[in-house]
Amino acid sequence: MSGDACTTLKFARRLIIVPAFNEASSIAEVVADLEHSVPDFDLLVIDDGSIDATAANVPQTAGLISLPFNLGIGGAMQTGYRYAAEHGYDVAVQVDGDGQHPAGEIFKLLERIEAGDADLVIGSRFLKAPRYRQTPARAAGSRILQLLLRILTGRKFTDCTSGFRVANKDVIRAFAHWYPDDYPEPEVVLLLHRAGYRVVETPVQMKQRANGQTSITPMRGLYYVVKVAVALVLATMRQPWPHQKMRAA
């Protein structure tokens, strides 16, 4: 979609948050793609304590926050959401720094936010005929978490681990107040659902990862599933967001 189309969007202040850990090989291309495809969006890269040249490779046209050490995806994203809340953004888009999330797909997520029937929109690789390839171990882990979320929420989420998301102002305020530390994507889906926020999925195309290093290696796959499953169960007893304070005025 062209830059002219961007200007027709409802929300005036839009921020793209790009968490990046050791993404020196891809971050410049990711930023360039975003700046070309969605030029009316502000762009903030959160360098999560990278030990490579990620920060040095972020173009000067993008905002950059370099964390002093690695906090994990949760800490990096909460940093971005706090920035968005403090600067009055209407929507915040999460785009991974590895190049898997095409910039042009952002509009599919924004359409649901602008329709006013969702507070958080998740870009799903699997909502329609799946073409995205996963290893058998990852696919099995995703199915386990999908089943657990369905039991706990009564709803089916096809891609609860997707990091391609758009949040409205209410969710920005909630995430700035509290956000899970690591592997947060499935947990916040459950917590938002329990707090009365409207969470939906929309189908998107994603690229296969070509560069950088994933935060979840095959050796950590089982640990990840067990840890997230425990976090989901514990989340049924957690109320991290004082609901009456989180809704934007």
CATH of the domain at 186: 3.90.550.10
Structural domain contains residue 171: yes
Structural domain contains residue 128: yes
| Residue partners of 227: CB distance under 8 A and separation at least 6 | 183
pLDDT tens digit sequence for 182-205? 789 999 999 999 999 999 999 999
Position 140 scores a pLDDT of 83
Residues lower than pLDDT 70 in the chain: 1-10, 129-134, 208-219, 243-249
Per DSSP (E only), the strands in the chain are 14-20, 42-47, 63-66, 91-94, 120-124, 165-168, 199-203
Structural domain contains residue 247: no
Structural domain contains residue 59: yes
Structural domain contains residue 118: yes
Structural domain contains residue 248: no
Position 130 scores a pLDDT of 60
Range of the structural domain that residue 158 is part of: 3-242
Structural domain contains residue 249: no
Position 6 scores a pLDDT of 44
Q: Which residues pair with 201 in a beta bridge?
A: 122
Position 139 scores a pLDDT of 80
How many domains is the chain partitioned into structurally?
1
Structural domain contains residue 172: yes
Token pair listed for 181: 């530390």
Position 9 scores a pLDDT of 60
